[in-house]
Structure formats: structure tokens, C-alpha cells
């Protein structure tokens, strides 16, 4: 890659991170202007707003992959609940990072597959401990969690998560 392009890309990323922290819904045009480049330059480096967000907030998506540390510290059911709470906490913020996580999960790409894999580990652990209904998949759990992207109220979110957890664990034996 040419040197000037490298510089521009780095500048766009730095400026975007700073600007999006203040206004999560800022569009690419103003970001380009703040970075001192034309809109086409941003578009070349990042084909869409979603690509830029995923580049900026890879770490937040990666954090969802670490199920191992949850499983060593908690029993399976509690580990699952804490993972889902982590997801809900993201949704509540409405931040650009939250938008990135949402995009990663819903766009059926490699990110989504990896997160589903992580959740599968949690579900498998719960199933092994007989703390989970037997007929549920990670994809269905993520669909069920869609609500976290819409609403913000924390008390409501907690109560809804209780319902989700009870639905997931529903089983004659439990």
C-alpha cells in the first residue's frame, strides 16, 4: 500500500474513533471531512460504515469469544447468564461499539459464526450439566436476544433476561 494511503487510513481510524465516541450515529461524510480527506477516500478504505465500525471495535466482538474464563469461574448456567448480560450491556449503550457488535452478530458473516461458536460452548456446558433444554441452538438464542438492540431500560432488561433464562432452562427435570 502506498505511503500516503497508509497515513490516510490511520488518520481516518483515529479521527473516527474520537468522533464516534461523542456522536455514535455520525456518518462517513463528516468523518471524512474531520480527517481532511474526500468521502471517496474513506469509502475506498472501508466499503461501508459497517466495515469501519468492525475495524474500530474488533476488540469488543473478540471479548464475546472468551467463554472459557466464564466457565472456569462459574457453573454453566451462571456463565451463560453472565454472557447474555454482557451482550445486553452492549445493547444498552447504543454506542458505536454496540452498533459494531450488532452488525457482527446479525450479518451472517465470519464474525457471526465465531460468536455463535462461543455461545455453543456455553450451551454445550449447560446441556452437559443438564441445566438447559435440549432443543435450543445458539442461533435461536441470538434471535431471542434481539431485544437488547432496541430497548434501553435496565430494570426491564433484567426482568426480560430472567424470562429468557427460564425459557432456555425449561425442562421437566429442572
Partner DNA sequence: ACCTGAACACCGTTCAAGT
Can you give the binding site for its own copies, defined by CB under 8 A? 106, 133, 135-136, 139-140, 143-147, 149-151, 156, 159-160, 163-168, 170
Cβ proximity to its own copies: between 59 and 172 the closer is 172
CB 92 within 8 A of CB 154: yes
- 53 interacts with DNA by CB under 7 A: no
Nearest distance from C-beta of residue 46 to DNA, angstroms: 9
Query: Which of 14, 48, 152, 159 touches DNA by CB under 7 A?
Result: 48
- 107 interacts with DNA by CB under 7 A: no
Cβ neighbours of residue 80 under 8 Å, at least 6 residues apart?
122, 123, 125, 126, 132, 165, 168
What is the distance between the alpha carbons of residues 145 and 45, in angstroms, rounded to a whole number? 32
Cβ proximity to its own copies: between 18 and 159 the closer is 159
153 exposure class (CB count in 10 Å sphere: 0-12, 13-18, 19+): exposed
144 binds, among DNA, its own copies, none (CB under 5 to 8 A by kind): its own copies
What is the distance between the alpha carbons of residues 66 and 82, in angstroms, rounded to a whole number? 12
What is the distance between the alpha carbons of residues 145 and 91, in angstroms, rounded to a whole number? 10
39 binds, among DNA, its own copies, none (CB under 5 to 8 A by kind): DNA
How far is CA 62 from its chain centroid? 9
Cβ proximity to its own copies: between 6 and 140 the closer is 140
Nearest distance from C-beta of residue 59 to DNA, angstroms: 23
Q: What is the 8-class DSSP label of residue 132? A: S
Contact positions vs DNA (CB under 7 A):
1-2, 4-5, 8, 27-30, 37-41, 43-44, 47-49
Amino acid at each position: 500500500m502506498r505511503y500516503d494511503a497508509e497515513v490516510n487510513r490511520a488518520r481516518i481510524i483515529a479521527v473516527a474513533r474520537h468522533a464516534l465516541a461523542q456522536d455514535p450515529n455520525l456518518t462517513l461524510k463528516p468523518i471524512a471531512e474531520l480527517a481532511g480527506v474526500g468521502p471517496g477516500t474513506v469509502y475506498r478504505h472501508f466499503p461501508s460504515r459497517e466495515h469501519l465500525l468492525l475495524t474500530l471495535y474488533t476488540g469488543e466482538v473478540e471479548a464475546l469469544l472468551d467463554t472459557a474464563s466464564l466457565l472456569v469461574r462459574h457453573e454453566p448456567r451462571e456463565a451463560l447468564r453472565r454472557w447474555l448480560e454482557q451482550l445486553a450491556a452492549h445493547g444498552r449503550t447504543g454506542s458505536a461499539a454496540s452498533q459494531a457488535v450488532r452488525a457482527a452478530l446479525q450479518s451472517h458473516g465470519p464474525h457471526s459464526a465465531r460468536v455463535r461458536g462461543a455461545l455453543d460452548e456455553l450451551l454445550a456446558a449447560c446441556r452437559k450439566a443438564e441445566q438447559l433444554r435440549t432443543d435450543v441452538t445458539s442461533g435461536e438464542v441470538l434471535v431471542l436476544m434481539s431485544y437488547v438492540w432496541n430497548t434501553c431500560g435496565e430494570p426491564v432488561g433484567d426482568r426480560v433476561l430472567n424470562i429468557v433464562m427460564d425459557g432456555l432452562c425449561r425442562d421437566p427435570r429442572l
